[in-house]
Structure 1
């Protein structure tokens, strides 16, 4: 692969001379700097997220029309989309009785003739002269009972071409995009082969080159962030008292898994360094991430420092507070309305308040970090004097993807869930709903019922809402007590509903996906998810993880009236990592893990099949980093979140 990494590492290509670096700096120029792009077109391009020259270069075709095969005019078939080349007659304007304006002509080649017709394009009578040689591309259909070429595109160049077709928006066509002047810097080969291929065979290798470059830039950026983190920040290295750690572990009411022990070993090594830890702890629901974080907090306590645990919801904050307290740590809870102090402070965004006075913060734990914006995570990291940072996520992320999404973090993975019985999962069609309800009644257990929306939608009338479903199910399960939980409830009301469900006062909890994280009710053994097709596999897996928290068999019922192999995969796959691979392949990283505002890159070129290139891109980035200052263009693009042309 003639990739950027290979070229920069193995050669001193002339394109990387200082003059060339300077000439490429216009990549960040606005699209209006391109001839033919005015204010109106710029607004239309903005709808496609195209704002700069760079954005336009990397707005790649999604398919191609091969117009190289020329058909004989007299032997075309109705229904074909094809290219014909020949002499055209003068265009005649015809006005029909019902007010339509038609433009007719005849194309002649060695095989014979073919009628041609356009609609409401009066100017064409001034474009063509009798005898002009033209190339026409369009679809053949019957008109006046004759095979006719309908509204074809025309080109006075008779050289057969491959035409790119681009994602479009209203008022902006592929033809217009293709008509723009050549703005590829130095006629960059891979970009030219993607936008103007001379054969279809060169397109995919060129796209892979661009995808590799995109991944390389992300890896280089991550390594640069890591280097700056380790060289510009000084942390308090923690002394690790192995004997006390072993005593703490021995006091736990369970045995740690091998992956927990490995994660603890990695974290303790980080905490002993003179620069801050910056580690991501990834683990499936129930894999024991909180216990690992508790041991890190215990080390901070032994060294005289506080720990902050930042949770995305008050429900999850309360859950962590209870878990850490049960493990013997002096834990405080900080919410918008109350505050208790301790060695470990657990809370939501209230922990980030400037008015909250903290003492010697040495460790910050951020749970479900993709739920916090970049600014919020930076605020958390700023608490204390360069504290160690441990981020946790239950969102299943394949290791190679994690290297791209969170490449500036070290990674620990908890790949086993101790003592869990696999949850039996079924996709339930609408016609089996009544039978499913009867089965639920016989189970005599607590049930979660999750709906996509709080209120009914005017446009999505078939999608169930939590409030409407709550009222409907009260009649169906009249002998049971039901609770309702959703994001618009006040924090105290949410806590009260969960407390009643935990105490067994409610048999069923009808909720929105607010239950996705942080609700631990071991007595609940059935999860019902309405409109399951509206959720990604990763989210469905996390919702399913709300049950199966005891030694009793648990079940997950996915209600959907849309047959889906994607949903069926949940019946046979119980590993979050496996489901993440499936989801990634079907939907892409952006849809699964969030958007750029949460620090997730929006890939312009790379797709699932390219992620196998990540280890190679990382190795290339490691070689590039020491010479980054000698490559100002690359450094500039790394620091400005852009991709280098290949």
Structure 2
């Protein structure tokens, strides 16, 4: 299996991942799930521990911050097969992480990993494990490759019952006071709010607000003790991040000021407003992921995109797309047009791919037809030895002289 599971944020991809791992364990294999951040890895681990305990399954957590003494406990148990599920971050890619029999590897929020990183999982077993990659917004390159048949696609096209579509609103800086008024009304209703900034510290070249300035501004507008504000960014220690997330989960704070560290995995059903500052500076994939942090409860949720007045053509397209649709695949299609699909035979993640004839975002039906014909040819003549197929074989052999890395694409 080399499959993309596409489902919008909050649609239930994680439980499907867990059930997939159970199938591998039932057949005597181990399983792993890799997440891009420690926050998300810890959330997966906690969520699965309850199920695993009831089923008598041994599950471990391995991250960059995992202490050496703990690693010394985990790694031998993993190598012996005693650890059946390993949850972790990029730390799982390390060479000293050895499985006895890895049957399935799951990559969550796959747009946050490089192609070479993902390929490392294939080397974790003599027979490459099944690969399931999950995403709410496929990066353009992955979307393009799926058209070429390297990935099968499974879709979750519904949200859990009771969820309301998130209302996305675009505001300019002139709407700041009305935004503060709206935030106070939401807090009065018992809701919580994320405010996300693109930078942690000031940049000499970029003129948009950074996290610390934003925090100070909100601190003046939302004074203590009536309002409590948490702060979360990537430079904080793991225990400090965990402390702030726990405070927010317990509704001890009303507003969480953060960087994109909250882009994936943070699950707070009571948070109903996502304010994204300098939204024009984010990619479409990031904007959609950030929006997915709200709308996880039964209450109406909102995503407010704050921008400057001067917007480029691409920035306007991004903002208009976000306001127009909540559909992850539609967002990915626009992303594909804006960024290009990357190099199909290499490791470049995005950029313009100059095909002589086809346009990957407009000619999907033709590309699907071409793929179907290719599969038919290979089913009849897998070695391409029939006279009519020799031109195809010769072309393929020429490509392989210069691009001999197809096996590393995942």
The bucket for the TM-score relative to the shorter chain is 0.7 to 0.9
Counterpart secondary structure, 1:609: coil
TM-aligned CA distance change 1:316 to 1:639, over 3 Å: farther
Corresponding residue for residue 322 of structure 2: 570
Corresponding residue for residue 408 of structure 2: none
Picking from 451, 454, 476, the partner of 2:200 is 454
Distance 1:361 1:474 in 2: 49
Is the contact made by 2:111 and 2:138 (CA closer than 8 Å) also made in structure 1? no
Corresponding residue for residue 396 of structure 2: 634
Is the contact made by 2:110 and 2:133 (CA closer than 8 Å) also made in structure 1? yes
State yes or no: 1:584 paired with 2:336: yes
**1:140-289 to 2 correspondences below 5 Å:** 277-289=1-13
Picking from 283, 290, 297, the partner of 2:14 is 290
TM-aligned CA distance change 1:598 to 1:390, over 3 Å: farther
Distance 1:348 1:481 in 2: 31
Q: Deviations over 1:20-79 (max 9, x none)?
A: xxxxxxxxxxxxxxxxxxxxxxxxxxxxxxxxxxxxxxxxxxxxxxxxxxxxxxxxxxxx
Is the contact made by 2:148 and 2:371 (CA closer than 8 Å) also made in structure 1? no
TM-aligned CA distance change 1:489 to 1:639, over 3 Å: farther
Is the contact made by 1:400 and 1:612 (CA closer than 8 Å) also made in structure 2? no
Deviation at 1:289, TM superposition (A): 1.0
Is the contact made by 1:370 and 1:594 (CA closer than 8 Å) also made in structure 2? no
Corresponding residue for residue 279 of structure 2: 532
TM-aligned CA distance change 1:477 to 1:596, over 3 Å: farther
Q: Larger Cα Rg: Structure 1 or Structure 2?
A: 1
Deviation at 1:596, TM superposition (A): 5.5
Task: Give the structure-1-normalised TM-score.
Answer: 0.52
Corresponding residue for residue 180 of structure 2: 437
Distance 1:305 1:286 in 2: 28
Corresponding residue for residue 109 of structure 1: none
Distance 2:178 2:349 in 1: 45
Is the contact made by 2:147 and 2:364 (CA closer than 8 Å) also made in structure 1? no
State yes or no: 1:501 paired with 2:248: yes
Deviation at 1:565, TM superposition (A): 5.2
Corresponding residue for residue 489 of structure 1: 236
TM-aligned CA distance change 1:283 to 1:300, over 3 Å: same
Distance 2:401 2:351 in 1: 14
Distance 1:400 1:610 in 2: 16
Counterpart secondary structure, 1:366: strand
State yes or no: 1:617 paired with 2:370: yes
Counterpart secondary structure, 2:289: helix
Corresponding residue for residue 417 of structure 1: 159
Is the contact made by 1:398 and 1:577 (CA closer than 8 Å) also made in structure 2? no
Corresponding residue for residue 347 of structure 2: 597
Q: Deviations over 1:229-281 (max 9, x none)?
A: xxxxxxxxxxxxxxxxxxxxxxxxxxxxxxxxxxxxxxxxxxxxxxxx22221
Distance 1:495 1:594 in 2: 39
Picking from 114, 132, 150, the partner of 1:373 is 114
Is the contact made by 1:283 and 1:396 (CA closer than 8 Å) also made in structure 2? no
Counterpart secondary structure, 1:327: helix
Deviation at 1:328, TM superposition (A): 3.8
Corresponding residue for residue 137 of structure 2: 395
Is the contact made by 1:485 and 1:512 (CA closer than 8 Å) also made in structure 2? yes
TM-aligned CA distance change 1:540 to 1:306, over 3 Å: same
Distance 2:279 2:345 in 1: 22
Counterpart secondary structure, 1:332: strand
Distance 1:526 1:601 in 2: 33
CA RMSD of aligned residues (A): 2.9
TM-aligned CA distance change 1:361 to 1:622, over 3 Å: closer
Is the contact made by 1:404 and 1:614 (CA closer than 8 Å) also made in structure 2? no
Is the contact made by 1:595 and 1:602 (CA closer than 8 Å) also made in structure 2? no
Deviation at 1:437, TM superposition (A): 0.4
TM-aligned CA distance change 1:406 to 1:297, over 3 Å: farther
Distance 1:399 1:350 in 2: 24
Q: Deviations over 1:179-231 (max 9, x none)?
A: xxxxxxxxxxxxxxxxxxxxxxxxxxxxxxxxxxxxxxxxxxxxxxxxxxxxx
Corresponding residue for residue 214 of structure 2: 469
Gaps of 5+ in 1: 1-276
Distance 2:259 2:345 in 1: 21
Deviation at 1:303, TM superposition (A): 2.1
Distance 1:594 1:429 in 2: 38
Picking from 294, 297, 306, the partner of 1:550 is 297
Distance 1:639 1:311 in 2: 35
TM-aligned CA distance change 1:414 to 1:473, over 3 Å: same
Is the contact made by 1:309 and 1:366 (CA closer than 8 Å) also made in structure 2? yes
Counterpart secondary structure, 2:347: helix
Distance 1:550 1:308 in 2: 29
Is the contact made by 2:146 and 2:152 (CA closer than 8 Å) also made in structure 1? no
Gaps of 5+ in 2: 78-82, 405-410
TM-aligned CA distance change 1:481 to 1:404, over 3 Å: same
TM-aligned CA distance change 1:497 to 1:448, over 3 Å: same
TM-aligned CA distance change 1:508 to 1:585, over 3 Å: same
Task: Give the structure-2-normalised TM-score.
Answer: 0.80
Deviation at 1:473, TM superposition (A): 1.4
TM-aligned CA distance change 1:392 to 1:406, over 3 Å: farther
Distance 1:302 1:633 in 2: 43
Q: Deviations over 1:339-395 (max 9, x none)?
A: 467421100122223333433322211223332223322221222342222221221
Higher-RCO chain (CA-CA 8 Å, sequence separation at least 6): 2
TM-aligned CA distance change 1:603 to 1:367, over 3 Å: same
Is the contact made by 2:340 and 2:350 (CA closer than 8 Å) also made in structure 1? no
TM-aligned CA distance change 1:278 to 1:579, over 3 Å: closer
